[in-house]
Structure 1
Amino acid sequence: MFSSYNIALDPMIAKLRLHAEVSDHDRDAMLALPCVLRIVDKRRSLIRNDNTPEYGAIILKGFSFGHKTTRDGLRQIVSFHTPGQIVNIQQLFLKSFDHEIHAMTKCEVAMIPLSALRHLALSRVSITMALFAQAMVESSIYRQWMLNVGRRDARSRVAHLLCEFVVRLGDEGIAPGRAYYIPMTQQQIGDAVGLTSIHVNRVLRAFINEGVLFKKGSEVRFLKWEKLQDVAGFNSRYLHVGDPVEGVDYSNDAGHQRQ
């Protein structure tokens, strides 16, 4: 059943505000979007390959990942999704979907009719820019992942993925010894960085033995954060956190004129 005003969409708005200026009027307009809340169990599919979704899927709680599979059944994870992310933002502009999205953990997902989201984007320039900025940040992440798989060694690949994931959770100022929830399995890490799970296990064990991190299940403590960044060659600039375009005039925004 659709909700006429749903503050459950606040994680999406918070995510958009990392990269673009989103006013309170924009927030109200987005909260008024019709949406259905859906629970997706761990390892279940959110969106299937070659599907034509009618809904935009926003992760509210939990984590998911996108992947492509070769004809021989080999999987490459191409993205990890954190709360607030629209996992199929390309559907605003493209009809079909070209990869699959699976729940990495149990997820709470908001499903918004793409027609409603598209109409809102076309009527408010500021929201268009916010959505476009998210898509551009995802492209920036893809480029970094390509560099990671193509040119970094195994230690650097795993270290870079860990650094990125924690920063995307909003914790660039890492507190030494603090526990962070990192739900990827060693197989999933391997599928993201082009390594076997055995190789990933060796790399993680080396980091543990060197006192760089402590890991127990999905709980990870970064004991030497600066060293991990150094191994990774990590610079968070490509994530564009808190990097909105300034000085943009929205006075001709049709949505603002109707307020």
Structure 2
Amino acid sequence: EFPDTVELVRYLAILLAQQGNQEKCEATIKDALIRIEQPIAHRQLGMLLARFYTQWNQKDNAYTLLDALSQKLPDDIPVKRRLLLCEQVIKDPEKAQQLVDDIKSLEGEDGWQWQYEQARVWFAADDFEARYPQIVTHLQGNLLANPSDQASRMLLAASYERAGELQLAISTYREGLSRSPDDLNIIIPVVAALYKAREYDEAEQLLNRASAAKLYHPQLQQFQLQSHLRHGQLSLASDILQDLL
């Protein structure tokens, strides 16, 4: 028998995925989607299956599932936001803009989710420079309403950096890092920006702190490699190269 609650389905699906049984994992979630009718359950299970499809490098299946789920649940903002992350949507500006407009109509003019997604769509667009002032306005508005909005803060910093305002970007990255000092998704772009600005001492302090906290990421290793080479520490650089290869 198949489980009848989202929690049990999730548990069983994750267990099957960990065991490498993709076919049974997929069948378990699909069967539950047929039997369990609540919209929230459909969203949770659909997003779970989409996550597995992405892990299994079945991106077309993930997109097809999320697109169908968005049509089945037209008022569900999280599904639309997840759909916006699909490569098929990223490559289709009209589709992406329609999803943002849909979110805006659901949230209202002052909604933070559509403003973030609008800024993200414009950030990736060919006309970034023309949209840059509006991107900044949307993201600064989000941060004014919610200073803890790290997603908007990091996108704002990346926008500053792309626009060539490196010191403003670094200042914004630093604010994000002060709020989440162990978040690799923040540490990496901060260090990259500091290296770009030739602020090596601060970058190396962050690398040393990350190392002391046992935070690992290949990109951090590459930064450490650059640091050792810059100081002529060839033996330490060689050790990192062996780890990276």
Q: What is the TM-score normalised by the length of structure 2?
A: 0.31
Could you say which structure has the higher helix fraction? Answer: 2
Q: Which has the higher contact order (CA 8 A, sep 6+)?
A: 1
